[in-house]
Amino acid sequence: MAGTLVQGALFTVMVVRAAMLRDPAFEEELAKQVERSPRFFLNAPVVLDLKGSEADAFVTPEEFAEARRVLRGQTLMLVGVQNALPQQIAAAAAADLAGFAPNATQPSRRRAAEAEAEPPEPAAAPAAPPPATVAPRTRLVTQPVRSGTQIYARGGDLVVTAAVSPGAELVADGNIHVYGVLRGRALAGASGDAGARIFCSRFEAELVSIAGHYLVSEQLPPEQQGFPVQIALIDDQLTITRN
Amino acid sequence: MGKVIVVTSGKGGVGKTTTSAAFAAGLAMRGNKTVVIDFDVGLRNLDLVMGCERRVVFDFINVINGDANLNQALIKDKRNDNLFIFPTSQTRDKDALKREGVERVMEELKNQFDYIICDSPAGIEHGAITALYFADSAIIVTNPEVSSVRDSDRIIGILASRSRRAERNESPVDIHLLLTRYSLDRVSKGEMLTVEDVKEILSIPLLGVIPESESVLRASNTGTPVVFDGESPAGHAYLDAVARFLGEQREMRFLKPERKSLFRTLFGRA
């Protein structure tokens, strides 16, 4: 039992560089990004990367509290720090922030000497932090999806190897694959990924959608009914092609 | 330990109560001590279909609330010593079905009976959920018609996720399809879904096909489960379904037109 008390897990966390917080244009740019994909950013955890910050910056809990307030104003949640000096870690802890090990895509703080030799980051790019690489997870469903059932594959693809009844709803942030007859609804790219696709062995869907662009059964081409198809969003149009 | 069978459908008016009555009577006729319970609180019909509406003193809700004990509420059928009816309240509604009370009653019944048939109300709300919660087996009553098939699909999904067996991760409820009010005539005209159509959409094993029959209305009106009517095709079909449920092989009758040949008419083979 004790062995299962502490388990390792991988999480997706956004990283904000401390220098960005000092840039007045940052908040505005972040607000725009959040507005475009509100669900993606809502209550999303953020780690503050202190690499490159001055040794006397972020050494008090109040500074972290202020950073937390700024990020919260954009619905983000500051949960920890990365690449912090010992005095910064102490202040962060006092502000109830965890210390994260440097993530694999960043050189560690201790190699600051080499870091100095790197070309300076382009300061004129106050873009919102890009999301850290998402570990894709595919959700597999092998039983028939009955009418009234909703399945949401968060952060990845959905694969169904049985029939999907009319009145059932398949939702995925990634692609949807149905190795069976699709009679219900399929909504791929649910969090805004316009590159997501829908694949099925027998197309009889009630409604299909990719990144919010949808077509109902009546609008779907009748010549594709009953066949294996692939649905993609091309130039903002839902395109259905025979597989 | 008794087996609990729920007779459900999602859709209303497809033949749940008729089926519950027929199935319970059929099992009793085969020597099994059987009780059939009405879960349709406030809209009770089972007592009418079983012909015991004038003998109801205490009901399911009385027993749940502790106003009466089980034996005071159970009504013994006059036609078969193995058959008992457990009526429900007409004055209360489904909110009166408290989960703990129902559980206690079900445990008591499982000790006394071989089979417990739960006649579910229509819908997917509290009454229907309570009726299916304790099931070991389920009979999904479906008419060969699109709305009924859609609703049956829904209730099958609910059985798979909200029964006690599902919640406790035990072996799943044994689900069977019973197609009722099947009219050969309308199927051949293309007005009604075929058996194959329904089987393909619902993907559950077929227990039986009950033909549309005037004898069912007569049975309801006289308070006699249709299996007691020796001349009713529906009654025969129900007896076949009971046999299949108990593991016997029976060919599906009433799916092909009965061709009255001259030969047969002359030599009198029924």
pTM of the model as a whole: 0.71
pLDDT at residue A110 tops 50 = no
Quick one: which of B253, B244, B247 has its CA closest to B23?
B244
Chain mean pLDDT for chain B: 93
Whether the pLDDT of residue B21 is over 70: the answer is yes
Is pLDDT at B198 greater than 80 in this prediction?
yes
Please choose, from the candidates A169, A158, A228, the residue with its C-alpha nearest in 3D space to the C-alpha of residue A196. A158
A147·B203 Cβ contact <8 A: no
**For chains A and B, what is the number of CB pairs under 8 angstroms?**
31
Q: Is the confidence at residue B238, as pLDDT, over 80?
A: yes
pLDDT per residue as tens digits for the range A1-14: 444 556 666 676 78
Instruction: Kindly give the residue spans of alpha helices, DSSP state H, lying in chain A.
Output: 18-22, 24-36, 38-41, 61-72, 86-94, 112-117
User: What's the whole-number average pLDDT of chain A?
Assistant: 82
CB contact under 8 A, A147 and B154: yes
* pLDDT of A111 above 70: no
Instruction: Check whether A117 has a pLDDT greater than 60.
Output: no
Please report the pLDDT score of residue A32 as a whole number. Answer: 84
pLDDT at A121: 42
Contact state of A143 with B201 under an 8 Å Cβ cutoff = no
pLDDT higher than 80, residue B88: yes
Query: Closest Cα of chain A to B15: distance in Å?
Result: 21
Residues of B whose CB is below 8 A from A165: 150, 153, 157, 201
User: Above 60 in pLDDT, residue A116?
Assistant: no
> What pLDDT, on the 0 to 100 scale, is given for residue B266?
61
Above 60 in pLDDT, residue B145?
yes
**In the numeric block, which tokens belong to residue B79?**
């036609």
Chain B interface, mutation test: which of A150, A164, A165, most B Cβ atoms within 10 Å? A165
pLDDT at A67 over 70: yes
pLDDT of residue B34: 98
Q: Do A146 and B150 touch (CB under 8 A)?
A: no
Q: Which residue is closest to B10 within chain A, CA to CA?
A: A147
Residues of A in contact with B203 (CB under 8 A): 144, 163
Q: What is the pLDDT of residue A84?
A: 85
Say how far apart CA B20 and CA B118 lie, in whole Å: 7
- Average pLDDT on B218-222 reads 94
Is the confidence at residue A17, as pLDDT, over 90?
Answer: no
- Report pLDDT for A122: 39
Given a contact cutoff of 8 angstroms between Cβ atoms, the answer to whether B87 and B4 are in contact is no
The CA radius of gyration of chain B, in Å to the nearest whole number, is: 18
The lowest-confidence range among A49-58, A70-79, A147-156 is A49-58
Residue B125 has pLDDT above 60, yes or no: yes
Nearest CA in chain A to B150: A147
- B153–A147 CB contact, under 8 Å: yes
**pLDDT digits over A126-181, tens only?**
444 555 555 668 999 999 999 999 999 999 999 999 999 999 999 999 999 999 99
Give the range among A70-74, A108-112, A222-226, B140-144 with minimum mean pLDDT: A108-112
> B226: which DSSP letter?
G
Question: Does residue A119 carry a pLDDT above 50?
Answer: no
Long-range pairs, B103-111, Cβ under 8 A, ≥24: B103/B134, B104/B64, B105/B60, B105/B63, B105/B64, B105/B70, B106/B4, B106/B134, B108/B70, B109/B2, B109/B35, B109/B37, B109/B70, B110/B1, B110/B2, B110/B4, B111/B1, B111/B2
